[in-house]
Amino acid sequence: MALRSLSVWTLGVEMTARASFIKAVMLILVLVLSNSSGWAQKKGSSLKNVELCNGSDRVSPEARIDGCTAFIDAGEGAVNGFVVAYNNRGNAYSAKADYERAIKDFVEATRLDPNYAKAFNNLGVAYLRTGAREVAIGAFDEALKLNPNYGAAFANRAAAHLQGNAYDRAARDYDEAIRLDPKLEVVRSGRCWTRAVLGALQAALEDCDIALRSGANNAATYDSRALINLKMGQFSAAMDDYNSALRFAPKLASALYGRGIAKFKLGDTDGGRSDISAARKIDAGIDQAFDRYGVPVKGLVNRDGTVLQVLTSP
């Protein structure tokens, strides 16, 4: 049985604005399978270890770790087999949010094979999840040097740029990811958010609509489309989308804050005050975040709950 190399990627994060909630609101994992040489045909327990390390039959991360570890410890096979085993075990550790061990395995995979683009991509994902954004970007850069047509690495580097509020760079990387794989609806959702922040509202709306039609029904996509409607002055539509986002993620600060603004604009002062107060308790930097998103708010609701000034016109 041949080893199947697993590559993992995630859509971007906007940590300040969305607190611990990820932009695309959950880390979305996609396993990309590819054939790889280096695993010899084996019988009995050895073959079982290969199957486990491959993640066959949707086995648990723990089982994958055990299978990969057994193969590595046996010390048999070609170097490429160990490269992929370290990569796959790193993915299993990532699935358990054990990023320290995941990073060690991805680093070992890249040491054994400096031309293994997937391991660099996966290393970048693990670093990004620990908040080491610049190091993550370096790993994605290396993956893209090795494979300039690596759509997942473009998407992940866009996520890193998004985390650093580098929206123009994120938009360019999302463009490349979608050019390489137009069917990646989760990337559409990320580009929707980026375009919404940059003010390309109609293009952003098209991305969100495509993502939602493709089945990306999640808090992030609704939150993104709500921001578009808010900036376009479509406050009732914004309310509907924020309500949808909050059904998926009741403590999503950006959705609570945006809904509060929409409520103010629709005349519901008490409701607006309540939502904005709740958002500020979740994310103390939410006021600054919305200013960064291009939604000019001057005071709106003071920290003591008094209304100072309603949203100015975008």
Domain boundaries, the chain: 1-181, 183-314
Mean pLDDT of 44-62: 82
Instruction: Tell me the backbone φ, ψ of residue 272, rounded to 5 degrees.
Output: -65, -45
If you average pLDDT over every residue of the chain, what do you get? 84
Q: What pLDDT shows up at residue 261?
A: 96
What gap in Å lies between CA 79 and CA 77, rounded to an integer?
Answer: 7
What gap in Å lies between CA 161 and CA 168, rounded to an integer?
Answer: 9
Mean pLDDT of 30-37: 36
Q: Do the beta carbons of residue 294 and residue 314 sit within 8 Å?
A: yes
Q: What pLDDT shows up at residue 313?
A: 42
Q: Do the beta carbons of residue 295 and residue 311 sit within 8 Å?
A: yes
Q: Do the beta carbons of residue 308 and residue 300 sit within 8 Å?
A: yes
Mean pLDDT of 105-112: 97
Mean pLDDT of 229-251: 97
pLDDT-based confidence at 280, cuts 50/70/90?
A: very high
How far, in whole angstroms, is CA 178 from its chain's centroid?
Answer: 15
Q: What pLDDT shows up at residue 134?
A: 97
Q: What pLDDT shows up at residue 99?
A: 97
Percent of the chain with pLDDT over 90: 69
The DSSP bridge pattern shows strands 32-36 and 3-7 to be antiparallel
pLDDT higher at 103 or 304? 103
pLDDT higher at 217 or 252? 252
**How large is the angle between the packed helices 117-129 and 151-163, nearest 10 degrees?**
20
Q: What pLDDT shows up at residue 173?
A: 97
Mean pLDDT of 192-204: 96
Beta-carbon count within 10 A of 62 CB:
12
Helix (H, G, I), strand (E, B) or coil at 35: strand
- Looking at domain 183-314, its CATH class is mainly alpha
pLDDT-based confidence at 5, cuts 50/70/90?
A: low
What gap in Å lies between CA 312 and CA 164, rounded to an integer?
Answer: 27
Q: What pLDDT shows up at residue 154?
A: 97
Q: What pLDDT shows up at residue 77?
A: 79
Amino acid of residue 27: L
For 273-295, the three-class secondary structure string (H helix, E strand, C coil) is HHHHHHHHHHCCCHHHHHHHCCC
- pLDDT, one tens digit per residue, over 116-133 is 999 999 999 999 999 999
Percent of the chain with pLDDT over 70: 80
Say yes or no: domain 1-181 is CATH 2.60.40.10.
no
Range with the lowest mean pLDDT among 59-63, 173-177, 229-233, 246-250? 59-63
- pLDDT, one tens digit per residue, over 61-86 is 999 999 999 999 988 878 989 999 99
Under the phi-then-psi rule, with left for phi > 0, alpha for psi from -120 to 50, and beta for the rest, what region is 32? beta
Topology alike, domains 1-181 and 183-314: yes
Helix (H, G, I), strand (E, B) or coil at 307: strand
